[in-house]
């Protein structure tokens, strides 16, 4: 067993950088070439070599129970047979030990980022243990249809706090979306960034240019879809994803959606979305400043935290569901469908 260090050593250059990962690399999805070739989820390109056994897996004091919803991502519910406590276990190849843990070392502790509770190494892989959670933000928004601005503000501020901390410490998230944040409490008031395995640890904290193209279709930024862009700002792309998250939380649908991937990406490139007039001016302002087509004009994460709306300076009246529904259009409403290319549909 190996204890987890809370210090932040740099990853040695001889270890693979997350920047070099290509497990979810995408190309420009134009209709004439390869429409919709954008991976909706970052999936591990490996299968741990577990001992062949039926049912649960035994690892020292833990019984690992496969979670059906994470079957392809090697995530397990871990039951501690000594304490009867449950946690979440993520499994990676042992050769990725340093690479996977480097981002956790870099960001150190933060109240809105899940921390590694325990690390176990054996010949079959590296096992990271995290505290159990009470559901993700995507499912919560889906259940409630949309959030009132007061609640959205309290939750979204925690999201931005986590992203700002990562950016400050040279970590770009790349695959930000509602599913990435989970609740730490049954009352669903405390959010945690669920994991950093897909994040990119910058070699130079002053240079956030990336060339690999990761992300979920509904959250991807215009510059990532551009064939003319060889590199892009990873932090600015994260801010675009934050704008999509906030819009979805308070409107109840994605700002960009279409059943055809090529049409969806066209809307994203053009920045084509609408905001209901009933929203507070502060919410509109923050969303618009995050969803700017020009990445250089978007707010940074730390500046976003200073925005009046996130400080709670907005009218107490909130959007009624009736008003939102009247303003929905065919293009803007998230339909009740399942598409392989658009797996992160809000109402699937």
Looking at the annotation, which residues are catalytic? 175
Cβ–Cβ under 8 Å, residues 262 and 36: yes
Distance CA 192, CA 198 (A): 15
- Of the candidates 44, 91, 41, the one whose C-alpha atom is nearest the C-alpha of residue 65 is 91
With 0-12 CB in 10 A as exposed, 13-18 as middle and 19+ as buried, what is 314? Answer: buried
- CA distances 221 to 10, 45, 308, Å, are 29, 24, 25
SS3 139: helix
Chain center to CA of 33: 28
Cβ–Cβ under 8 Å, residues 225 and 232: no
CB atoms within 10 A of CB 323: 12
């Amino acid at each position: 067993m190996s204890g987890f260090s809370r210090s932040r050593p740099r990853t040695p250059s001889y270890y693979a950088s997350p920047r070099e990962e290509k497990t979810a690399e995408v190309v420009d999805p134009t209709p004439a070439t390869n429409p919709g070739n954008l991976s909706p989820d970052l999936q591990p390109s490996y299968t741990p070599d577990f001992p062949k056994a039926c049912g649960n897996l035994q690892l020292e004091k833990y019984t690992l129970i496969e979670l059906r919803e994470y079957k392809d991502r090697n995530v397990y519910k871990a039951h501690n047979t000594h304490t009867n406590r449950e946690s979440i276990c993520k499994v990676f190849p042992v050769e990725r030990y340093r690479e996977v843990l480097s981002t956790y070392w870099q960001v150190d502790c933060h109240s809105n980022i899940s921390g590694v509770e325990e690390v176990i190494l054996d010949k079959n892989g590296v096992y990271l243990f995290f505290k159990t959670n009470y559901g993700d933000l995507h499912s919560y928004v889906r259940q409630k249809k949309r959030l009132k601005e007061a609640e959205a503000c309290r939750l979204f501020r925690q999201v931005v706090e986590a992203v700002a901390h990562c950016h400050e410490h040279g970590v770009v998230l790349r695959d930000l979306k509602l599913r990435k944040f989970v609740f730490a409490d049954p009352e669903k008031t405390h959010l945690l960034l669920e994991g950093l395995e897909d994040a990119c640890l910058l070699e130079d904290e002053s240079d956030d240019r990336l060339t690999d193209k990761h992300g979920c279709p509904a959250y991807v930024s215009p510059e990532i879809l551009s064939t003319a862009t060889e590199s892009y700002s990873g932090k600015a792309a994260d801010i675009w994803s934050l704008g999509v998250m906030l819009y979805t939380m308070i409107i109840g649908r994605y700002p960009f959606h279409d059943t055809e991937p090529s049409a969806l990406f066209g809307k994203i490139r053009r920045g084509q979305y609408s905001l209901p007039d009933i929203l507070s001016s502060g919410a509109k302002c923050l969303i618009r400043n995050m969803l700017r087509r020009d990445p250089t004009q978007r707010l940074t994460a730390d500046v976003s935290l200073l925005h009046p709306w996130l400080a709670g300076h907005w009218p107490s009246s909130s959007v009624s569901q009736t008003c939102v529904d009247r303003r929905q259009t065919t293009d803007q409403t998230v339909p009740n469908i399942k598409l392989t290319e658009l797996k992160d549909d809000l109402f699937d």
